[in-house]
Structure 1
Amino acid sequence: MVRNYLLIAIRNIFRNKLFSTVNILGLAFGIGSALLIFLWVNDELGVDKFHANGDRLYRVMENQKYSDGKIYTFMSTPGPMAPFIKDKYPEIEKATRWTWQMSYLFQYEDKSFFEQGFYVDQDFIEMFSFPFVAGDVNTALKEKNSIVISEKLAKKYFGEEDPLGKILTLNTKTAYTVTGVVKDIPKNSSIQFEYLLPFHVFMDENKSWLDEWDNNNVRTFLLLAEGTNEEDFAKKFKYEIKEHVKETNVELFVQPFNESYLYNQYENGVQDGGRIEYVKIFFIVAIFVLIIACINFMNLSTAQATKRAKEVGLRKVIGAVPHQLFRQFMGESFLTVCLSAGIAFLLALILIPMFNEITGKALSLNMLDVKTLLIFCGIIIATAFVAGSYPALFISEFKPAQVLKGQLKSGSKAAVFRKALVVVQFSLSIILIISTAVVFRQMDFMQNRDIGFERENLFSVWAEGEIPQKYETFRSRLAAMPGIEAITASSQLPIDVGNSTYGLQWEGKDEDERILFSNMDVDYDFIQTMKMTMIEGRPFDRNLITDTSNYIVNEKAAAKFGFKNGTAGQDLTMWEKKGKIIGVVKDFNFGSLHSPIEPLVMRVNGGWRNCLLVRAKPGQTEAAISSVEKLWKEYAPAYPFKYTFLNQDWEEFYKAEGQRGKVFNTLAILSIFISCLGLFGLSAFSAERRTKELGIRKALGATVPGLVQLVGKEFALLVLIASCIGCPLGWYIMSQWLEGYAYHVEVGYITLVIAALICLAISMLTISYHSLKVAANNPVKSLRYE
């Protein structure tokens, strides 16, 4: 019986080559894209899930409440916190501090490279599951000059030699002994590093500011003891800062480390999504694409059902019951889906390198991996059930008497259902077209937005060697060299300012008022080099020694001060250093476009000129880079020369969003293509079914354009109905998405109209092929049809 069903299914596929090809290709594209997206989703959900103690790992977070009612959430915490609370609370088994990522120069013999890593406490390597391949995990970071490195770094510097005991020189000065080697960090870890250094070294070097409870600068992670109730501990721990700082606006809470990657966004002190939103979006879009492919299958299968009506009637006459026929046709659907899955797997195998490049992942289609196999099998089973169940039920319910008498009804209910499915299909396609257009416009807007200063011809170099100590000489010499228009320096990259404080005092300020201000140390020529606009007052002046005590603020900060007679000239004290506000600069974006511009205070501070900012003369960028490199070799000969353009840095900040945008756009194009495949098949069926009608109309004088219009009118109406559904839904969905950006484009009615017209135009072009083919036939041939 099974063999008989299989032969019939194969024969049916070859008998209806066009419809079988459309079905198989549509399902193949749908299954292939869903497979890649589900693998991506699975990878995202699996980030940081490999830690043995993952269910007991937490990171300490701060909620800081300010006078304007805003609550800011930070993961930075005081330096002394980790060891203190570890001793104080029995619920804490281990605690570690963790700095921001450091890029240091390491040397071994003739090898010299910059590497990325952290300063951490000994507890770090005991809390997190980064397996050691050499050394003792219990003591590796206890000694002052010890260092733990990755396998990759060990091979890079020492080849096949035993790395333990080898000496690496950091920044040409300090020698560190390799005491441990960890297995290369997996790609699905949010913590990526090539080396780990003892935190107590960092503490000794920066004790003046790191040892303060009201200075947030490092991250704190906890391993809670087994059986600890997270909520009870959080209540005890909430006001710990108040025990050390009399007047504080800080409340502490803990977030499970397993959630920190996906749920990393907070709004007004409350968890408000993060990367998990994109995981949900892509999961839903992949389901959309799969549904569109399934709709194609259902439509074409029910449209072709009448060709198999006699077969069903005869089977029922000789004793077949509906559930047997249902199983037969479900089996045929499953066979088609399996053929599609085979093609889909090959497509995914070919495209996965490109997909990995776009998404920044390292996914693989390893069918020996249980999760990958389950995902693939799950897609096949779900697709077969969704795509095949309705056609199988519809065909198995044919009445044998009506079939054999030739009285089978035209299938008006089935036709209505097919039209409804076409409307759903194109509604989803229109939503995806709108989404694609808005995502593209928003990405373009972010890349090209005027952020308050000129990014062109501007590149940055992080000061190394003797440059920080001899900056003035370096700057003067560089300014006179070829290609250089201007040079300045700052404590941070001007598009990524991370420091903030509420330690400001000004005349008229309420003593109880707490307002958070971002702060940045700059060189005298910062405003001029960046080509910013002064709204009031003047820039810093190198010839005025008093400017080392003065400040420049942005418009947002000036509004917070609320001075009635202008801001320039007013007194301002920051961290007990009194000076005057000498100018107000036009607001510029020094952070993400997701957030509005915050109040900013800038001051001249020669001790924090870490980032050199060089503006090249137009058309002389190469000469400017060569000039900097020439001086670099003189002042920092041991350090490799590295530079980045500010435009590149800006693009890098939104690289992940750009990657997601590319994936989203590809899925949208694919969904339209699959929809058109289905429409191509349906229009072929419709044209074939109306061959005699069109022949008679042509014999009676109808023109070819008129006949094409007649055939296309039915489908055009369906697309218009889909537009009425898809456009409002697309507008609502993308308006909600854009709310995640403080600065964004608007969806706009033009986008909706264009999306509907694109869908209509593509569908009409698809339909026209078969309509023209049939309408152009000689009426004699058409009337002889069948």
Structure 2
Amino acid sequence: MNILKTIKSNLRVSKRIKAFNLLGLSISFGVFIILALYIYNEYTFDSNNQKSENIYLIEINNLNQGRKHPFLPNPLGDYVEDQLGDIKSHCTIKSWDGMYSKKSDIENTFDLSLFSVDSTFTSFFTFNIIRGNKTPLYGKDKIILSQSAATRIFGDEDPIGKQILKNYREPLTVEAVYEDLPVNSSFYAQDGFCSFITYNWVNEWSEWSFFSFVKLADGANVDAVNAKLNQLDKMQDNCYDDDGEQIRQLSLTPLSDLHFKSAFGNGNIKLVNTLLIVSILLLVMAFVNYLNFSFADLPKRIKNVSLRKISGGSRNEIYLYDSFVAGFIITVAFIIGLGIAQNILHLYPDLFGYEIKMSSNFSLLLVLYLLLFVFGVALYLLSTGVLNRVEPIKALKGMVPLSIKRGTSKQILPVMQYVVAITLLAGVLLIYKQLDFIKNYDLGFEKENILVLRTTGDITKSEDTFADELLKNPNISDYAYSQFVPGEVGMGWGRSIDGKIVNYKAWPVDERYLNFMGFEIVNGRSFLSNIKSDENNFIFNEAAVTKFGWQENIIGKKMPGFDFEGDVVGVVKDMKYASLYEEVQPMCFWLTSTRHNCLSLKVSGNNLAQTINYIEETYSKFEKRFPINYFFLDESLNKQYLQSEKQGRLIIYASIIALFIALIGSLGMVIYSCEYRVKEIGVRKANGARAIEIVKLLNKSIITQVLIAFVLALPLIYYALSKWLESFAFKTEVSWWIYLLSGFMVLVITIASISWQSWRAATRNPIEALRYE
């Protein structure tokens, strides 16, 4: 009961300071909990896989570019398993996304994110099969679905044995349903997995579009296996040029590193590390405020403690009582923080690109609470130590030592806060600038008002007639066919040219596509309008010409295709056909009358709804079986950066909260100053000082602290922002105005937030102030 009374009486002292303290801690804890959950999930990616030991992904490193990628030929898996005794088994997989429908209801289509996989897949990776065959995917044309995908497609029906169709014609039989994988799994985004595809091109060494996983024997030396991989005959042909110089190198990436260190994963270690730093800084700022507020509370706490000493209380008892007070504050703040975090995660479940549930992270939350509790109590007891050094009689007479009034922490800790706030605000400005830079970057082609329609077999049989019919609408001005559109060029070729193996992307198009997209020819010519006279010829981009050293004799060079050989007729200016995270890679346009999977239409922005209705009506005349499937190119391209935008917003939100915490700290320092300078303010007022002069006096030290912090923050801003931009191949600059604006904004916001408290103290009746003393 005595402890409860002590906590209650302590909380009654300086209620305003306690309220600010609790507010700052609660918000900080809430944001810290959210960021900690995300960071923990990122750092523990693929930890759910119980079979991860000795599993590696084979990747190839282009030494000249310093770039690693996981796309390799399918036959590689069998080959390395046969050649190397250290490799027990392999599993090859390939992305097999597409448009699907139930065989019983082909009118309703849905997109599925799938991998086509070897029969060894479920022996490599951990799955909890909840329905159907426990050892699936050993037969042809089978598919297993995640629980959520099965529910989305079949509802309450039993999906086992049901068939779904890929592109309306390739049947896959549902063999099993597995429990949804955790969000921090590299396969979380997949709706399912199907039997390995059986097309003829699958077994071509020239088709570089597969992922190859291998399982090493127990005790195998990874470095030794890496060395052996690069000495294999097949790899000699692919990894060395005619002069014997190694230009590529195979390497093994462990499963635990896929998320951050492989192109197979989509993790951004720089972003996660940035958020880790931000979360720590946010916590530091909150505890700096906590410490400052505990010192701001000293004028009123000191008399309370002195009375307890005179009444017989020992120093240890005072430490114990204050420990309970601090523990109570930390606990309440943590509980409120949990509520804040839970509500934010509930309102914005896709905040991180995947949903995080607090209920499944109880152990982590408990660890966070214990750490915050111990740290919070320890900091609070620093002020208790100061109080214990003051003689009770002197304290009751108001004789407080200057060392308490003018502690070093009063000056240093706020400067630290402002350094962090200015740096984070500069980061916010740069993130906005970079996101705007990406959205408005000149990609080298037209992307606005282009509608892309997925074609079907019936459409491609009458593609010219279908397109001519669409052009009768005045709001549709042009069209072109291709297999891919920018942002999804997925065909990789490895070819032996001039005695060297070269790798590049291949983009099948019709004769209209380059002109339609506005691609600029810089050497040679574009494709002829008569496709038959130019079919199976190629146009390469500048990146291929430069990388492969073809500047002198590119036009007319013979290039192997699948079962043909074509001529290079031109060179196109580099365009950003992939993500702006990457440098432009070698690529060729392949003119073909086949593979016309996409019809791109240039539409007017006027009467768009009517234009789409016309397209749908025209489509229904040519395609009676399958529904229309279309999208706008600019929206599709912008999806590449949705994750970056979400991640950028995380940093922005955390930075704004950090600035808010710094402002609460500034307010605390004004309160701190006012508590100690009540008599001085009263005397100055009694001697005729104006209120504005008092405000300047109280604000002067804080303005000085912000200016010092700005100078200290400049090198930190330059380093942090330059590092963040390194993850983009195409990036904006750290402009000079970012430095000035971040410092100016913090200064203005700080002055605006503290001046009301300074004004309140300055306009106080001097008689009340002197009576208070």
TM-score (norm 2): 0.91
Identify the match of residue 360 of structure 1 among 353, 375, 392. Answer: 353
1:223 is paired with a residue whose SS is strand
In structure 2, distance between residues paired with 1:398 and 1:101:
74
> Are the structure 2 counterparts of residues 137 and 104 from structure 1 closer, same or farther at C-alpha, using a change threshold of 3 Å?
farther
Question: Structure 1 residues 490-499 or 40-49, which shifts more?
Answer: 490-499
Q: Distance in 1 between matches of 2:238 and 2:23?
A: 69
714-723 or 255-264: bigger deviation:
255-264
Give the C-alpha shift of residue 79 in structure 1. 1.2
Secondary structure at the counterpart of residue 82 of structure 1: helix
Q: Which runs of 5+ in 2 are unaligned?
A: 241-246
Moved more, 659-668 or 321-330: 321-330
Structure 2 Cα separation of the partners of residues 258 and 411 of structure 1: 53
Q: How does 1:584-603 map to 2 (within 5 A)?
A: 584-603=571-590
Deviation at 1:614, TM superposition (A): 1.5
Mapped to 2, the partners of 1:519 and 1:434 lie a distance apart of 41
Q: Classify 1:374/1:719 alpha carbon distance in 2 versus 1 (closer, same or farther; 3 Å).
A: same
- Aligned to 2:703, which of 687, 692, 716? 716
**What is the rounded CA distance, in whole Å, between the counterparts of 2:304 and 2:491 in structure 1?**
77
Match of 2:329 in 1: 336
Determine if contact 1:213/1:241 at 8 Å carries over to the other structure.
no
> How big is the shift at 1:671?
0.9
Structure 1 position 638, deviation (Å): 3.3
Partner of 1:524: 511
Counterpart for residue 575 of structure 1: 560
How does the TM-score come out when normalised to structure 1?
Answer: 0.89
Shift of 1:405: 6.2
Tell me the residue number matched to 1:297: 290
Residue 379 of structure 1 deviates from its aligned partner by: 4.7
Give 2:35's match in structure 1, choosing from 28, 34, 37: 37
Confirm or deny that 1:95 pairs with 2:90: yes
1:241 to 1:278, Cα distance in 2 relative to 1, 3 A: farther
Cα distance in structure 2, aligned partners of 1:412 and 1:246: 73
For residue 291 of structure 2, give the secondary structure of its aligned residue in structure 1: helix
| CA shift for structure 1 position 744 | 1.1
Report the equivalent of 1:390: 382
Deviation at 1:536, TM superposition (A): 5.1
Shift of 1:413: 7.7
Q: Is the 8 A contact 2:296 2:671 kept in 1?
A: no
Deviation at 1:384, TM superposition (A): 1.5
Q: SS at the partner of 2:756?
A: helix
- 2:651 corresponds to which residue? 664
**Bigger shift: residues 312-321 or 766-775:** 312-321
RMSD: 3.0
Residue type of the partner of 2:699? G
Q: CA deviation at 1:174?
A: 3.8
Give 3-state SS (helix, strand or coil) of 2:53's partner.
helix
Change (3 A) 1:504 1:570: farther
The partner residue of 2:81 within 80, 86, 94 is: 86
Change (3 A) 1:490 1:427: same
SS for the counterpart of 1:777 is coil
Change (3 A) 1:241 1:756: farther
Measured in 1, the distance between the counterparts of 2:322 and 2:506 equals: 69
Q: What is the deviation of 1:358?
A: 2.1
Code of the aligned partner of 2:338? F
Where does residue 6 of structure 1 map in the other structure?
4
Contact 2:230 2:236 in 1 (8 A): no
CA distance in 2 between counterparts of 1:513 and 1:782 reads 88
CA contact (8 A) 2:206 2:495 kept: no
Is 1:125 the counterpart of 2:122? The answer is yes
Alignment partner of 1:61 out of 50, 55, 59 = 59
CA distance in 2, matches of 1:773, 1:413: 21
Asked if 2 retains the 8 angstrom alpha-carbon contact of 1:442 and 1:745, the reply is: yes
The verdict on how the C-alpha distance between 1:475 and 1:677 changes in structure 2, with shifts beyond 3 A counting, is same
- CA offsets per residue over residues 426-468 of structure 1, 9 Å max, x none? 1111111011111111111111212112221012223223233
- Residue of structure 1 equivalent to 2:268: 275
Residue by residue over 1:240-273, the C-alpha shift from the partner in whole angstroms, topping out at 9 and shown as x without a partner, is: 363684775543221111210132369xxxx9x9
**What are the superposed Cα offsets for residues 344-397 of structure 1, whole Å, 9 maximum, x if unpaired?**
12212221123422222222222x754244244235325424642432333333
The alpha-carbon distance between structure 1 residues 749 and 369, as it changes in their structure 2 partners (threshold 3 A), is closer
1:322-333 paired onto structure 2 within 5 Å: 322-333=315-326
The CA deviation at 1:30 is 0.8
Aligned-partner Cα distance in 1 for 2:319–2:615:
76
Residue in 1 that maps onto 2:243? none
1:171 is aligned to 167
Partner of 1:508: none
Match of 1:608, as an amino acid?
R
Q: How far, CA to CA, are the matches of 2:149 and 2:694 in structure 1?
A: 72
Change (3 A) 1:292 1:301: same
Q: Which residue of 2 aligns with 1:460?
A: 452
Summarize the alignment of residues 468-617 of structure 1 with structure 2, pairs less than 5 Å apart: 468-501=460-493, 503=495, 511=498, 516-535=503-522, 538-543=525-530, 545-557=532-544, 559=546, 570-575=555-560, 582-617=569-604
Q: Give 1:529 shift.
A: 1.8
Q: Structure 1 residues 257 and 379, CA, compared in 2 at 3 Å: closer, same or farther?
A: same
Structure 1 spans left out of the alignment, 5+ residues? 506-510
> 1-side partners of 2:598 and 2:378: how far apart?
58
The residue correspondences of 1:130-145 to structure 2 (distance < 5 A) are 130-138=127-135, 140-145=136-141
SS of residue in 2 equivalent to 1:592: coil
Deviation (angstroms), 1:31:
0.7
1:121-147 deviation digits (Å, cap 9, x = unpaired): 111022211122233333x32332333
**One-letter amino acid matched to 1:20:** K
Alignment of 1:610-759 (within 5 A): 610-759=597-746
For the 8 Å contact 2:207–2:494, the answer to whether it is kept is: no
- The separation in 1 between residues aligned to 2:5 and 2:382, in whole angstroms, is 22
CA gap of 1:154–1:598, structure 2 versus 1, over 3 A, is: closer
CA distance in 2, matches of 1:10, 1:152: 51
Tell me how far apart the structure 2 counterparts of residues 198 and 563 of structure 1 sit (CA, whole Å). 41
Assess, with a 3 A threshold, how the Cα gap between structure 1 residues 241 and 385 changes in structure 2: closer, same or farther.
farther
1:195 partner letter: G
* Aligned counterparts, 1:107-506, within 5 A: 107-110=102-105, 112-114=108-110, 115-138=112-135, 140-191=136-187, 192-199=189-196, 202-203=197-198, 205=199, 207=200, 209-240=201-232, 242=234, 245=237, 248=240, 249-264=247-262, 274-316=267-309, 322-366=315-359, 369-385=361-377, 387-400=379-392, 402-403=394-395, 406-411=398-403, 415-501=407-493, 503=495
Is 1:771 aligned with 2:766?
no
Q: Secondary structure at the match of 1:460?
A: strand
Query: Structure 2: how far apart are the matches of 1:374 and 1:781?
Result: 48
Question: Do the aligned residues in 1 keep the contact of 2:510 with 2:591 (CA within 8 Å)?
Answer: yes
Indicate conservation of the 8 Å contact 1:735/1:747, yes or no.
Answer: yes
